[in-house]
């Protein structure tokens, strides 16, 4: 097969690396964004084999079909971050499969690479696949791993680096992404989290292929909604002061005391206190992500002491600390951008005067200010 992807050369690796910021937005958006991109295997002799990703499936820790559904373990630790690494697992006692980790660090999610279209180094892949050719070469997750010699030695590997790396590429003119339920699973099998390049012969064989719904007509996926042939650019938005999003935003941010029973409507639960809640285990707290460095400083927290008369001054000082802490604020905004709902968790007994109330209002105010600035441009 003729060489069609000069961009996979080592000297161009960094320039053409997959944009990892897309992966942080969550599994569904990453599953769409990975379609059409290249998965490149570098061989010791300096040659490459590469496949063009044509089929993906999204999984996350809120999904009963995901390996992360029951929490972190030695087997699935790579899925909890950071994004853009390889989660390789052994299945059925004979096959390997590979996922690209996605989502915010600490939130267990990833994208299964189900199939690829060979574009370079086909002879090497054919040899590894025992002489199989055509669609049989890489039209399934285990076949793809065998063709690219992906095994547990690549567990946790950073996919920006050789010998296995993602390279950005675009969909071809006229190609469309289709959405179907996932295949080969028994739990949550009806969720439309499998994406394919419609009509591509290297997609896994399934009766569902003929029923694929174009992504721009499929409506919401499980986690985010994607449109057209590219992943949707999820907006960083928060709800208005009463906690409702009024139908005008793509995400709402709520607050809840960590000692209260969790709700099925909480979405991603983010602890924003500097200290872990006393008397709560990780399991009973139901915390998905802990951003301790976004909490008020120890000095400010001690001064406030939850004295109601000091709350207004506390809020003003805390906002100044947030202004001076853009890294932590940006991390929280990335989480908000990747999830339809985020609940900020706090431990204080006062539900009206606490750091989460101030933080949520800060996110709203700064978002509105940014939108107004963009409108004036």
Report if residue 54 sits inside a domain. Answer: yes
Same domain for 285 and 193:
no
How does pLDDT run along the chain (377 residues), one tens digit per residue? 333 444 455 444 444 666 777 888 889 999 999 999 999 999 999 999 999 999 999 999 988 899 998 888 889 999 998 999 999 998 877 789 999 999 888 899 999 999 999 999 999 999 999 999 999 999 999 999 999 999 999 999 999 999 999 999 889 999 999 999 998 888 888 889 999 999 999 999 989 999 999 886 544 454 433 332 233 222 233 333 333 333 333 457 889 999 998 888 788 899 999 999 999 887 888 998 999 999 999 999 999 999 999 999 999 999 999 999 999 999 898 888 888 889 999 999 998 899 999 999 898 887 644 544 444 44
> What is the number of domains present in the chain?
2
Same domain for 138 and 53:
yes
pTM above 0.85, yes or no: no
Specify the pLDDT at position 282.
79
Specify the pLDDT at position 277.
93
Specify the pLDDT at position 295.
96
Report if residue 66 sits inside a domain. Answer: yes
Report if residue 13 sits inside a domain. Answer: no
Domain with 192 in it? 20-217
Same domain for 281 and 203:
no
Same domain for 203 and 159:
yes
Report if residue 333 sits inside a domain. Answer: yes
Domain boundary among 199, 217, 235: 217
The CATH number of whichever domain residue 171 belongs to comes to: 3.10.300.10
Domain boundary among 217, 244, 263: 217
In three state form, how does the secondary structure of the chain look? Answer: CCCCCHHHCHHHCCCCECCHHHHHCCHHHHHHHHCCCEEEEECCCCCEEEEEEEEEEEEECCCCCCCCCCCCCCCCHHHHCCCCEEEEEEECCCEEEEEEECCCCCCCEEEEEEEEEEEECHHHHHHHCCCCCHHHHCCCHHHHHHHCCCCHHHCCCECCCCCEEEECCCCCCCCCEEEECCCCCCCCCCCCCEEEECCCCCCCCCHHHHHCEEHHHCCCCCCCCCECCECCCCCCCCCCCCCCCCCCCCCEEEEEECCCCCCCCCCEEEECCCCCCCCCCHHHHCCCEECHHHCCCHHHHHHHCCCHHHHHHHHHHHHHHHHCCHHHHHHHHHHHHCCCEEEEEECCCCCCCCHHHHHHHHHHHHHHHHHHHHHHC
Report if residue 4 sits inside a domain. Answer: no
Report if residue 244 sits inside a domain. Answer: no
């Amino acid at each position: 097969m003729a060489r069609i992807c000069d961009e996979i050369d080592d000297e161009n690796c960094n320039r053409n690396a997959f944009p990892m910021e897309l992966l942080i937005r969550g599994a569904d958006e990453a599953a769409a964004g990975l379609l059409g991109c290249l998965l490149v295997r570098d061989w010791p002799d300096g040659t490459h084999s590469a496949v063009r990703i044509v089929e993906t499936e999204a999984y996350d820790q809120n999904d009963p079909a995901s390996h992360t559904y029951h929490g972190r373990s030695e087997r699935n630790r790579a899925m909890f971050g950071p994004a853009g690494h390889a989660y390789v697992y052994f299945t059925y006692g004979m096959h390997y499969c590979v996922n690209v980790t996605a989502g915010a660090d600490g939130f267990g999610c990833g994208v299964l690479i189900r199939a690829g279209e060979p574009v370079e180094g086909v002879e090497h892949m054919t040899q590894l696949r025992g002489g199989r050719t055509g669609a049989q070469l890489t039209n399934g997750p285990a076949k793809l791993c065998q063709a690219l010699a992906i095994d547990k030695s690549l567990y946790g590997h950073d996919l920006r680096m050789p010998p296995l790396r993602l390279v950005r590429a675009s969909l071809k003119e006229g190609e469309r992404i289709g959405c179907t339920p996932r295949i080969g699973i028994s739990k949550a099998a009806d969720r439309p989290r499998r994406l394919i390049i419609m009509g591509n012969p290297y997609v896994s064989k399934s009766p569902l292929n003929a029923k694929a719904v174009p992504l721009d007509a499929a409506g919401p996926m499980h986690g985010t909604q994607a449109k057209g042939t590219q992943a949707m650019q999820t907006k960083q938005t928060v709800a208005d002061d009463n906690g409702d999003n009024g139908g005008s935003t793509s995400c709402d941010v709520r607050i809840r005391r960590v000692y209260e029973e969790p709700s099925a409507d909480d979405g991603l639960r983010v602890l924003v206190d500097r200290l872990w809640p006393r008397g709560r285990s990780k399991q009973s707290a139901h915390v998905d992500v802990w951003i301790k460095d976004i909490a008020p400083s120890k000095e400010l927290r001690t001064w406030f002491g939850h004295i109601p008369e000091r709350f207004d001054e506390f809020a003003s000082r805390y906002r100044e600390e947030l202004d001076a802490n853009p890294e932590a604020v940006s991390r929280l905004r990335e989480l908000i951008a990747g999830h339809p709902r985020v609940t900020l968790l706090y431990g204080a007994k006062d539900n009206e005067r606490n750091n989460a109330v101030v933080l949520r209002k800060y996110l709203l105010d700064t978002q509105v200010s940014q939108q107004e600035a963009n409108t004036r441009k």
